C-alpha cells in the first residue's frame, strides 16, 4: 500500500462532504482545494510572502493562499491523508475530536497556561483599577486562576465563576474556592443570573472560545448594573501574541498546523472594541498587554509548550525523528542567555467599558 502524505485541508461551508475512513465516498472539492492552497503557499514561501513570512503562520493579506482561504470562508482545519499515486477520495484523520479544542483537565491547564494567565491578569487588573467590595461574574473561569487573582487583588464581596467544563471546575473548587467564591457550570451565551446582578463582568482569555462573541458580550452587559464594568482580555492570536506562537509556527512548517479557537477574530483589538460598542457599552477603551516569562532552560520550555490542548495532539502524531527536528528548529528560534535561560514574551489585547446609566 502506498504511504500517505500529510497536508492541511480547510472545511468548506455548504459543500457536501463526508469524513471518510478507508475509502468512503465524499466530495472531491476539499482535497482539490487543499492541493491548490498548499501549492500556492509553497510558492509564496519561496517568494517571501506566504505563511513562513508572516507571524504565527498566518498568510499575509496580499498573498494568493490568503485570498483563496478568504474566498471560501475557511472555518476550521483538519488533518488529511492522501495516498500517493491515488486519485480516490482521501481519508481523514481527526486527532482533535471533530475540530474541538477542549480544556477538561484543570491541573494540566495550570501547568500549560497558569503562569501566563497570572502575568497577563495582573497587568489587566492594574489597568482596570476596580474598587473593592464589588460583585463579579468571571465568565469562562476555567480552573479559577483569574478568579483567585480577583480575590487577592480586588477584595470583592462576591465572585461567581462560570464555565462549561466540569473538569476545569472540579480543579477550581478544590484549589480556588477561598473567600466569597462560587463556581458553577454554564454557558457564556446564556448566563444563569438575573439582570443587573453584578458590579462587573469579565472574560479572561476566553472570548475567542465563545461561539457567538457578540451574544457573550451582550450577556455580560445584561447581568451588570447600570454604570457597571464589562471587560475582557485575550491573547493576540492572529498577531502572533500567543505564549507558544513560536512552536505553532514550526508546526505549520511541518504541515501540522494547530487549530485556532472558533472565534479567533474576536481576539483582534479592533474587533473587541467593535463588540463592546455594538453592545451599547460606553467609555470603551482598549490596550495591549505584553508580558514576559523566563524558563530555566530550553527543555523546561519544551516540556510545558507541548502539553497544550491545541498542540499536544499534533506533536503526539509526529514520528520521533520529526519531533527531534521540530525541537531543533524551535531551539534555534529561542536563543538562551548566558545562564541558559529562555525568556519569551506574549501579547494580549484588552478592552473595557461601562453599562450606560448610574
pLDDT band at 355 (very low <50, low <70, confident <90, very high): very high
Looking at per-residue pLDDT, the higher value among 174 and 358 belongs to 174
Summary mean pLDDT of the chain = 76
pLDDT tens-digit readout, 256-300: 888 888 999 999 999 999 999 999 999 999 999 999 999 999 999
Q: What sign has the CA pseudo-torsion 140, 144, 146, 152?
A: positive
What is the percent of the chain where pLDDT is above 90?
56
CA-nearest of 300, 297, 293 to 336 is: 297
Residue 97: its pLDDT value, please? Answer: 35
pLDDT beyond 60 at 84 = no
Report which secondary-structure segment, H or E, holds 295.
strand 282-295
Tell me how far apart the alpha carbons of residues 128 and 352 are, in angstroms, rounded to a whole number: 7
Looking at per-residue pLDDT, the higher value among 100 and 291 belongs to 291
Instruction: Show the beta-strand stretches assigned E in 198-278.
Output: 198-204, 224-235
pLDDT beyond 80 at 106 = no
**Cα angle 293-213-33, degrees, rounded to a multiple of 5:** 85
pLDDT tens-digit readout, 217-257: 999 999 999 999 999 999 999 999 999 899 999 999 888 88
CA of residue 354 relative to chain centroid, distance: 26
Strand bridging mode 198-204 / 224-235: parallel
Residue 110: its pLDDT value, please? Answer: 63
Q: How many residues does the chain have?
A: 358
Block residue for cell numbers 513560536: 246
Tell me how far apart the alpha carbons of residues 154 and 348 are, in angstroms, rounded to a whole number: 21
Tell me how crowded residue 40 is: count the other CB atoms within 10 A of its CB. 19
**Under DSSP, is residue 232 helix (H, G, I), strand (E, B) or coil?**
strand
**What distance, in Å, lies between the first and last C-alpha atoms of the chain?**
71
Residue 109: its pLDDT value, please? Answer: 58
Tell me how far apart the alpha carbons of residues 37 and 324 are, in angstroms, rounded to a whole number: 27
pLDDT beyond 90 at 99 = no
CA-nearest of 290, 115, 193 to 201 is: 193
308, 311, 346 from 113: Cα distances, Å: 8, 13, 12
pLDDT beyond 70 at 46 = no
Give per-residue burial for 223-248: e unless 16+ CB within 10 Å, then b: bbbeebbbbbbbbbbbbbbbbbbbbb
Looking at per-residue pLDDT, the higher value among 354 and 41 belongs to 354
pLDDT beyond 80 at 329 = yes
pLDDT tens-digit readout, 19-36: 333 333 333 333 333 333
Cell of 79: 488533518
**Under DSSP, is residue 1 helix (H, G, I), strand (E, B) or coil?**
coil
As a whole number, mean pLDDT of residues 166-194 equals 91
pLDDT band at 3 (very low <50, low <70, confident <90, very high): very low
Amino acid at each position: 500500500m502506498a504511504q500517505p502524505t500529510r497536508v492541511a485541508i480547510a472545511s468548506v461551508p455548504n459543500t457536501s462532504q463526508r469524513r471518510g475512513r478507508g475509502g468512503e465516498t465524499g466530495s472531491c472539492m476539499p482535497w482539490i482545494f487543499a492541493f491548490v492552497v498548499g501549492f500556492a503557499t509553497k510558492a509564496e514561501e519561496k517568494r517571501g510572502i506566504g505563511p513562513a513570512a508572516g507571524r504565527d503562520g498566518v498568510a499575509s493579506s496580499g498573498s494568493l493562499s490568503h485570498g483563496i482561504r478568504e474566498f471560501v470562508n475557511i472555518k476550521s482545519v483538519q488533518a488529511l491523508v492522501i495516498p500517493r499515486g491515488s486519485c480516490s477520495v482521501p481519508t481523514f484523520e481527526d486527532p482533535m475530536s471533530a475540530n474541538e479544542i477542549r480544556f477538561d483537565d484543570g491541573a494540566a491547564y495550570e501547568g500549560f497556561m497558569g503562569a501566563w494567565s497570572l502575568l497577563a491578569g495582573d497587568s489587566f487588573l492594574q489597568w482596570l483599577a476596580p474598587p473593592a467590595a464589588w460583585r463579579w461574574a468571571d465568565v469562562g473561569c476555567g480552573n479559577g486562576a483569574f478568579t483567585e487573582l480577583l480575590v487577592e487583588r480586588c477584595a470583592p464581596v462576591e465572585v461567581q465563576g462560570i464555565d462549561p467544563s466540569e473538569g476545569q471546575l472540579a480543579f477550581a473548587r478544590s484549589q480556588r474556592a477561598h473567600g466569597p467564591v462560587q463556581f458553577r457550570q454554564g454557558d457564556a451565551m446564556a448566563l444563569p443570573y438575573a439582570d443587573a446582578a453584578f458590579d462587573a463582568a469579565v472574560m479572561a482569555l476566553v472570548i475567542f472560545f465563545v461561539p457567538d462573541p457578540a451574544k457573550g458580550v451582550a450577556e455580560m452587559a445584561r447581568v451588570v448594573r447600570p454604570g457597571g464594568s464589562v471587560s475582557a482580555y485575550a491573547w493576540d492570536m492572529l498577531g502572533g501574541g500567543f505564549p507558544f506562537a513560536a512552536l505553532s509556527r514550526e508546526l505549520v512548517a511541518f504541515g501540522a498546523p494547530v487549530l485556532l479557537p472558533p472565534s479567533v477574530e474576536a481576539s483582534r483589538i479592533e474587533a473587541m472594541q467593535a463588540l463592546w460598542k455594538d453592545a451599547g457599552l460606553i467609555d470603551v477603551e482598549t490596550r495591549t498587554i505584553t508580558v514576559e516569562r523566563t524558563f530555566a532552560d530550553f527543555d523546561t520550555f519544551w516540556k510545558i509548550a507541548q502539553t497544550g490542548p491545541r498542540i499536544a495532539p499534533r506533536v503526539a502524531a509526529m514520528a520521533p525523528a520529526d519531533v527531534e527536528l521540530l525541537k531543533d528548529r524551535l531551539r534555534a528560534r529561542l536563543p538562551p542567555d548566558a545562564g541558559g535561560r529562555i525568556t519569551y514574551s506574549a501579547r494580549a489585547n484588552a478592552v473595557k467599558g461601562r453599562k450606560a446609566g448610574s
